[in-house]
Amino acid sequence: MKNLTLRNITEVCGGTYHGPEGCLDTEVTEITTDSRKVSEGCLFVAIKGEKVDGHRFIPGSFADGALAALAEVAPAETDKAVILVPSTLQAIKDIAEFYLAQLPADLVGIIGSVGKTSTKEMVAAVLAQKYRTLKTEGNFNNEVGVPLTAFRMREEDEIGVLEMGINHFGEMHRLAKITRPDTVVFTNVGTAHLEFLGSRDGILKAKSEVFDFMDEKGHVIVNGDDDKLSTISEVHGVAPVRFGIGEQGYSHPNDVWADGIVSHGLEGISCVIHTEAGSFEVMIPSSGRHMIYNALAGTAVGLVYGLTLEQIRSGIESYMPLSGRFHIIKGDSYTVIDDCYNANPGSMKASISILKEALGRRVAILGDMGELGEKEKAYHEEVGAYAAEQGIDLICCVGALSEAMAKAAVDYMETHPEAHCLVRHYPTVEALMDDCGEILEKNDTILVKASHAMGFGRIVSGLCG
């Protein structure tokens, strides 16, 4: 890893080195916080977690070939290299900032309330048509995940696509200091993390901290159809590139826009994308209107980095959804839409809208949404009423908060006689799973969606097993 010698690491994070002097000018081969991923010549970082203290694994890391350990507490007697710091969490951020500054790659930061991971995957798929591209794995997007992604980069990588997620003020400032992005893609300002950020204006302010350390000659790409993002008129004196559905945004014309939208059900969605460089028709291999926005973001980034329209089209059409991110699994008994990684009111309604387009009986298994603040009950009610309005055949709501979702679906049907849905509420995932054999039918299309803490992966495994 370029310039990551033990000497430089010690200096960068303000640590104290203990160990053989002969190792000081040796570069580490990897940096990991996971003792299961220790490799020959790596630096093992011991982090104290809520349940597990990584310091326990320092001896084992040395046995597995680690060159050195970064720790807050000195291990028992060892002749191996150890760098002691007050905080290993702060140290990995300091090291990541130093390391990225050594590399030639441009960095594209993906921020926003909803759709960061799918946008990141789309942008990376487009850029990979021309450049050696590294992207965030899964959603390693916080103050631990971003440094770990940085440590995966190498000199031969030409562009890094980094997802950056926050839920408190100050976090984006710290992430931006690490990454100093050359390009920023701002997907939207939704209602996720209202518990900590207070309002959509608070969310906009917190996420806009990314501009504190952004390259002043860089590019800002924003969703021009988002009412909050349309208020960004310039960053460092430069107007943002806007994308949206339809040529006109809220108050500014979009630079990249789509029309001619045709849904192909669960098979995907097609559209015509227009740019100053020309227009092209594309088939996006994933369902939902939100995927149009992802494709537009990918197009805007592709143009910034000099891709042809044909390369951009190929990148969009090569997009592959991640597990838990509207991943469609076709089994012998059911078609399962695995969208259970996370949820908020906007993404819930978007997924329900896509489910509506499925053939046959449509089932929505929906769970609690977290971090919604004082309006959490109202947001759950909003989703329940929406599911009933869309005519979903069976709505199964799981969890304490989702009881309000189920009640709202029933209340909607009482005032709208044309709506005919079956509604069930279950206090736990286990209670739902015990009932699946009775309530589900062969060939059902089943959406599974909730906040990650609900553990809905168990439901997907049970339905697909």
* 264-323: pLDDT as tens digits: 888 899 999 999 999 999 999 988 888 999 999 999 999 999 999 999 999 999 998 877
- Please indicate, yes or no, if residue 95 is contained in any of the structural domains: no
Q: Are residues 160 and 25 in the same domain?
A: no
The annotation status of 363 as a binding-site residue, yes or no, is: no
In a domain, 97, yes or no: no
Residue 343 has pLDDT above 80, yes or no: yes
- End-of-domain residue from the set 287, 317, 347: 317
230 and 178 both lie in a single domain: yes
Same-domain pairing of 261 and 301: yes
Domain ends where: 255, 286, 317? 317
Residue 116 labeled ligand binder: yes
Q: Please give the pLDDT value at position 265.
A: 82
* Residue 240 shares a structural domain with residue 296: yes
Residue 94 belongs to a domain: no
Q: Does 39 belong to an annotated binding site?
A: no
Are both 142 and 241 inside the same structural domain?
yes
Asked whether the predicted pLDDT for residue 248 surpasses 70, the reply is no
> 174 and 74, same structural domain?
no
Q: Determine whether the annotation assigns residue 114 to a binding site.
A: yes
Residue 260 included in any domain? yes
Q: Are residues 282 and 337 in the same domain?
A: no
- Does residue 247 have a pLDDT over 70? no
**346 within a domain of the structure (yes/no):** yes
In a domain, 39, yes or no: yes
Q: Does residue 398 share a domain with residue 283?
A: no
pLDDT tens-digit profile of 103-142?
A: 999 999 999 988 899 999 999 999 999 999 999 997 789 9
Check whether 29 is labelled as a binding-site residue.
no
Span of 146-155, 321-330, 432-441 with lowest mean pLDDT: 321-330
State the Rg of the chain over Cα. Answer: 24
Residue 117 marked as a ligand binder? yes
Read off the CATH number of the domain in which 27 is found.
Answer: 3.40.1390.10
User: Is 118 marked within a binding site?
Assistant: yes
Given a cut of 80, whether residue 246 has pLDDT beyond it is: no
Is residue 372 helix, strand or coil?
coil
Q: Are 78 and 116 found together in one domain?
A: no
| 302 shares a domain with 166 | yes
Shared-domain flag, residues 162 and 246 = yes
Residue 345, domain extent: 327-464
Our count of domains for the chain comes to: 3
What pLDDT does 77 receive? Answer: 81
- In-domain check, residue 96: no
Mean model confidence pLDDT for the chain: 93
The pLDDT, as a whole number, for residue 252 is: 60
Residue 331 and residue 310 in one domain: no
Q: Has residue 449 been placed in a domain?
A: yes
Mean pLDDT computed over 231-237 = 92
Residue 49 pLDDT = 86
The pLDDT tens digits of the residues spanning 76-91 come to 888 999 999 999 999 9
Hey, what amino acid is at 377?
A: K
CATH of the domain at 266: 3.40.1190.10
Domain closes at, from 30, 61, 88: 88
